[in-house]
């Protein structure tokens, strides 16, 4: 767990700026943002150091544009994908290091753990990395915002597309923890809802390295589609080993949660034609390209949706602190919910009462090698899933905060 403390700016109140907004009442005059992420494990590629880069970019942009009269610090730590480490670190940050907000939290188990600590300490959490819909359902609370995507959204995009393309029988290979379970459940609903059938599933330990015996089970099931309800290196290894055992191309694989970094490491040759659902693709329009190029210059990789979402969420939070003139948890939360999210990542994004930030999602298909014209040119955008359809409707929510 390496913590880096980067003091980004000393922006004292400038006389010229004293008009208008009320003097900000920020506790100890510093807003501390903690980035708690996987720095060394299975998800370090898709989140990791890149999210720290994104958070720092957000802070710099905010300072350059808004000239706040408070200091901002970014601290970061490695939660090693373990709930207990994440929970202890967050507790220490809140109690001892005066951290105001914890962000990122890839790996659902760490997210669920920190969510509870934050509620106990009445501090905010912005989640860009984790996937499970539990965060805004059974486990929802009034200090959490789930930003980038969730298992409902990706299943709703990918599983629907694959089933409609004729993949009627499914078998799931599931990472054995909250995230995998959620993804399997959400995808099962979608498959059943679209006339498909689920033949079975097998759960593998997280993180795994040898998937051969699980893949043989999937093969024996005879399903047309093997749904990969896992992520990061678990997904890339499953795909590689499926090819090794001659399972593909007889049966096809559906990576239910894949990131551009996975495609990058596997190559287009072995992933071409796969569908995936993301909340962001760097090559969507001028705005996304401009931001992603800046990110690329610093991180030497194009951003994943988790990293882009991290920027978006941190910037939205800082704007809310400025507008509310305080870093008081509930006042900032109210301000964040009141203001629509408008940046390169989301257009007219909205934070619902269950903590879900809803925005457009994209159904993408991986290009054939010959279609790819320049580095990181990987996807064809097949459909834009409008915010209203992309996420689980509030009517189905299990969150007690939702008034029905």
Partner 1 sequence: MTVNKNIGFAALFLLGLLAPVLIYPVLVMKVLCFALFACAFNLLLGYTGLLSFGHAAFFGLAAYAAGHALKVWELPTLVGLVFGTVSAAALGWLFGLLAIRRQGIYFAMITLALAQMVFFFLMQSSFTGGEDGLQGVPRGTLFGLDLADDMTLYYVVFIICAAAFWLIYRTINSPFGQVLKAIRENEPRAISLGYDVGRYKLLAFVLSAGLAGLAGATKMLVFTFASLTDAHWHMSGEVVLMTILGGMGTVLGPVVGAGVIVSLQSELADKVGSLVTVIMGAIFVICVMAFRRGIVGEAMALYRRMVGEKV
Partner 2 sequence: MIELFGVPLPALMGQLMLGLVNGSFYAMMSLGLAVIFGMLNIINFAHGALYMAGAFLAWMGMTYWEISYWWALILVPLALCVVGVIIERAFLQWLYKLDHLYGLLLTFGLALIIEGLFRDQYGVSGQPYPIPEELSGALNLGFMFLPKYRAWVIVASLLVCFATWFTIEKTRLGSYLRAATENPKLTQAFGINVPLMVMLTYGLGVALAGLAGVLAAPALQVNPLMGSNLIIAVFAVVVIGGMGSIFGSIVTGLGLGMIEGITKVFYPEISSTVVFIIMAIVLFIRPAGLFGREK
Instruction: Answer whether the bond into residue 249 is a cis peptide, omega within 30°.
Output: yes
State the minimum distance, in angstroms, from the CB of residue 7 to partner 2.
Answer: 26
State the minimum distance, in angstroms, from the CB of residue 284 to partner 2.
Answer: 28
**Is position 371 an interface residue for partner 1 (rule: CB under 8 A)?**
no
In the numeric block, which tokens belong to residue 235? 């997904």
**Is position 142 an interface residue for partner 1 (rule: CB under 8 A)?**
no
90: nearest Cα among 3, 177, 182, 207:
3
**Is position 28 an interface residue for partner 1 (rule: CB under 8 A)?**
no
Strand (E) positions, 18-100?
A: 30-37, 71-78
In the numeric block, which tokens belong to residue 95? 């109690």
φ/ψ (deg, to 5) at 179: -60, -50
The footprint of partner 2 on this chain (CB under 8 A) covers a number of residues equal to: 26
Q: What, of partner 1, partner 2, none, does residue 325 touch, CB below 5 to 8 Å by kind?
A: none
Contact pick of 166, 193, 205, 267 for partner 1 (by CB under 8 A): 205
Q: What, of partner 2, partner 1, none, does residue 112 touch, CB below 5 to 8 Å by kind?
A: partner 1
**Is position 217 an interface residue for partner 2 (rule: CB under 8 A)?**
yes
State the minimum distance, in angstroms, from the CB of residue 57 to partner 2.
Answer: 23
Q: What, of partner 1, partner 2, none, does residue 108 touch, CB below 5 to 8 Å by kind?
A: partner 1
**Is position 245 an interface residue for partner 2 (rule: CB under 8 A)?**
yes
Could you tell me if 71 and 318 are in contact, meaning their C-beta atoms sit under 8 angstroms apart?
Answer: no
Choose one: 30-38, 110-118, 318-326, 367-375; the region binding partner 1 (CB under 8 A). Answer: 110-118
In the numeric block, which tokens belong to residue 105? 């939290």
List, in sequence order, every residue forming a beta bridge with 367; answer none if it has no partner. Answer: none
**Is position 1 an interface residue for partner 2 (rule: CB under 8 A)?**
no
State the minimum distance, in angstroms, from the CB of residue 269 to partner 1.
Answer: 33
**Is position 213 an interface residue for partner 2 (rule: CB under 8 A)?**
yes
**Pairwise CA distance, residues 298 & 363, whole Å:** 28
> Which residues, numbered 45-84, are part of the site for partner 2 (CB under 8 A)?
45, 80
How crowded is residue 330: how many other Cβ atoms within 10 Å of its Cβ? Answer: 13
**Pairwise CA distance, residues 187 & 21, whole Å:** 47
- Cα–Cα separations (whole angstroms), residue 58 to 4, 11, 65, 318: 17, 16, 11, 9
**Pairwise CA distance, residues 326 & 145, whole Å:** 18
> Which residues, numbered 29-48, are part of the site for partner 2 (CB under 8 A)?
39-42, 44-45
Contact pick of 3, 7, 12, 209 for partner 2 (by CB under 8 A): 209
Residue identified by tokens 């629509």 is 340
State the minimum distance, in angstroms, from the CB of residue 230 to partner 1.
Answer: 12
Half-sphere exposure of 120 (CA within 13 A, CB side): 13
Q: Where are the alpha helices (DSSP H) in 122-206?
A: 151-154, 160-164, 178-193
The terminus-to-terminus CA distance of the chain in angstroms comes to: 43
State the minimum distance, in angstroms, from the CB of residue 9 to partner 2.
Answer: 31
Could you tell me if 224 and 252 are in contact, meaning their C-beta atoms sit under 8 angstroms apart?
Answer: yes
> Which residues, numbered 293-352, are part of the site for partner 1 (CB under 8 A)?
none
Contact pick of 51, 56, 103, 109 for partner 1 (by CB under 8 A): 109
Positions that interact with partner 1 (CB under 8 A): 1-3, 40, 77-78, 82-85, 87-88, 91-92, 95-96, 108-109, 112-113, 116, 120, 176-178, 205-206
Residues in touch with partner 2 (CB under 8 A): 39-42, 44-45, 80, 202, 205, 207, 209-210, 212-213, 216-217, 219-220, 232-233, 237, 240, 244-247
């Amino acid at each position: 767990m390496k913590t880096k403390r980067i003091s980004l700016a000393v922006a004292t109140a400038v006389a010229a700026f004293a008009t208008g907004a009320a003097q900000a009442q920020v506790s100890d005059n510093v807003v501390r943002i903690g980035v708690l992420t996987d720095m060394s494990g299975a998800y370090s590629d898709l989140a990791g150091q890149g999210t720290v880069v994104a958070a720092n970019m957000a802070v710099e942009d905010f300072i350059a544009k808004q000239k706040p009269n408070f200091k901002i610090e970014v601290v970061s730590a490695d939660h090693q994908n373990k709930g207990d480490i994440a929970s202890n670190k967050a507790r220490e940050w809140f109690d001892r290091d005066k951290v105001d907000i914890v962000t990122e939290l890839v790996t659902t188990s760490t997210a669920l753990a920190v969510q509870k600590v934050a509620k106990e300490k009445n501090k905010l959490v912005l989640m860009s990395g984790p996937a499970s819909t539990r965060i805004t359902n059974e486990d929802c609370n009034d200090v959490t915002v789930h930003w980038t995507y969730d298992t409902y959204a990706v299943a709703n995009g990918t599983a629907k597309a694959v089933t409609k393309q004729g993949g009627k029988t499914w078998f799931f290979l599931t990472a054995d923890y909250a995230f995998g379970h959620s993804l399997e459940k959400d995808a099962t609903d979608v498959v059943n809802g679209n006339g498909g059938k689920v033949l079975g599933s097998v759960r593998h330990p997280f993180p795994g390295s040898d998937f051969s015996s699980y893949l043989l089970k999937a093969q024996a099931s005879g399903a047309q589609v093997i749904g990969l309800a896992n992520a990061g290196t678990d997904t890339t290894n499953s795909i590689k080993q499926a090819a090794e055992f001659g399972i593909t191309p007889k049966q096809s694989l559906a990576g239910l949660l894949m990131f551009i970094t996975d495609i990058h490491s596997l190559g287009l040759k072995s992933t071409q034609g796969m569908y995936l659902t993301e909340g962001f693709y760097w090559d969507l329009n001028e705005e996304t390209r401009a931001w992603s190029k800046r990110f690329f210059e610093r991180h030497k990789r194009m951003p994943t949706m988790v990293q882009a979402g991290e920027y978006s969420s941190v910037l939205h939070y800082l704007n809310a602190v400025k507008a509310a003139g305080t870093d008081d948890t509930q006042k900032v939360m109210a301000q964040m919910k009141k203001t629509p999210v408008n940046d390169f990542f989301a257009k007219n994004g909205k934070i619902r009462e269950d903590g879900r930030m809803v925005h457009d999602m994209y159904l993408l298909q991986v290009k054939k090698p010959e279609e790819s014209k320049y580095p990181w040119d990987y996807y064809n955008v097949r459909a834009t899933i409008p915010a209203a359809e992309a996420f689980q409707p509030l009517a189905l929510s299990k969150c007690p905060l939702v008034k029905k």
